[in-house]
Amino acid sequence: MAAAISLIGAPTDIGAGSLGARMGPEAMRVAGLQAALERHGLQVEDLGNLAGPPNPWQPPVDGYRHLDAVVAWNQAVHDAMLAALQRQRLPILLGGDHCLGLGSISAVARHCRATGKKLRVLWLDAHADFNTNSLTPSGNIHGMPVACLCGLGPQALIGMSGQVPALNPKWIRQIGIRSVDPGEKRLVHQTGLEVFDMRYIDEMGMRHTMELALATLDAQTHLHVSFDVDFLDPPIAPGVGTTVPGGPTYREAQLCMEMIADTGRLGSLDVMELNPALDVRNQTAELAVDLIESLFGKSTLMRA
């Protein structure tokens, strides 16, 4: 029996380089996310949207744009995700830009520590999101959450889970990566992150990639998926601020989601960076709903 689901909206683009991800949660609702999950027999509650500071659209200070507001939004996300997990719910965070993965996964890490669970994080993204304030070309904090989770970043962000670092880098698998800044690349290698980039997926296929990314999960593992919509190939998913050519196709993305569903270990999910201002007739939101259905066990094929 699958866990009951809680939808949590975080309508902000505070960490992004373009405006519009603040409308992501509503676009997912308009695309029928709750009804789609309920059609598969899942119990779903929509907790509505979190509140936080507005986006003042300021230049970076010490390499960070809007750090105080980013901290406030992440604290709200952390608290809401943790409360849902403590009620035995499976929370789905509707972003909002990807800086909020920090608050979300900090809550998951805290919860796993308290309940003695192992944690595996799948980071589906075109970008490694492993910048620091000295490496970042933009100061946009949506390029920094993975580094912060590994203990590299400002104290107010790296300490949110109650322990620094929030994650052991060995718990993370990045999939779909195809745009990494030069300094960021060095830091990813130094940290020892396991990255399945697009070259790997091209050569080895999505099936083999996911078999490795999901290897060694067991009954005590909490699987968290942080899904940046820019993971997908831009022609099928134009509604994001940071498209990068050459992402997974529709079928590759479906296979990725179906293989995650097959593990039965999914415990929490982020759906991030959907930008309706850049979308075409809400097609990216509708695709995201389709893929989330697969993540919860819908088969597009002949299987039961």
Please state the residue numbers annotated as binding site for Mn(2+).
98, 125, 127, 129, 228, 230
To the query of whether residue 228 is one of the catalytic residues in this protein, the response is yes
To the query of whether residue 125 is one of the catalytic residues in this protein, the response is yes
Q: Distance (Å, rounded) from C-alpha 165 to C-alpha 147?
A: 10
To the query of whether residue 129 is one of the catalytic residues in this protein, the response is yes
To the query of whether residue 273 is one of the catalytic residues in this protein, the response is yes
Catalytic residue among 66, 78, 111, 127: 127
To the query of whether residue 290 is one of the catalytic residues in this protein, the response is no
Interaction residues for Mn ion, span 73-102 (CB under 5 A): 98
Q: Distance (Å, rounded) from C-alpha 266 to C-alpha 258?
A: 11
Tell which residue, 264, 229, 243, 254, has the closest CA to residue 93: 229
Using a 10 angstrom Cβ sphere, with 0-12 exposed, 13-18 middle and 19 or more buried, the burial of residue 228 is buried
Interaction residues for Mn ion, span 224-263 (CB under 5 A): 228
Instruction: Give yes or no for residue 125 binding Mn ion (CB under 5 A).
Output: yes
Which residue lies nearer to Mn ion by CB, 98 or 298?
98
Interaction residues for Mn ion, span 126-145 (CB under 5 A): 129
Contact at 8 Å (CB) between 177 and 198? Answer: yes
To the query of whether residue 142 is one of the catalytic residues in this protein, the response is yes
Q: How far is the CB of 148 from Mn ion (least distance, A)?
A: 12
Using a 10 angstrom Cβ sphere, with 0-12 exposed, 13-18 middle and 19 or more buried, the burial of residue 100 is buried
Q: How far is the CB of 247 from Mn ion (least distance, A)?
A: 12
Residues in the chain: 304
Q: How far is the CB of 260 from Mn ion (least distance, A)?
A: 18
Catalytic residues: 98, 125, 127, 129, 142, 228, 230, 273
User: Which residues of the shown chain bind Mn ion in the complex (CB under 5 A)?
Assistant: 98, 125, 129, 228
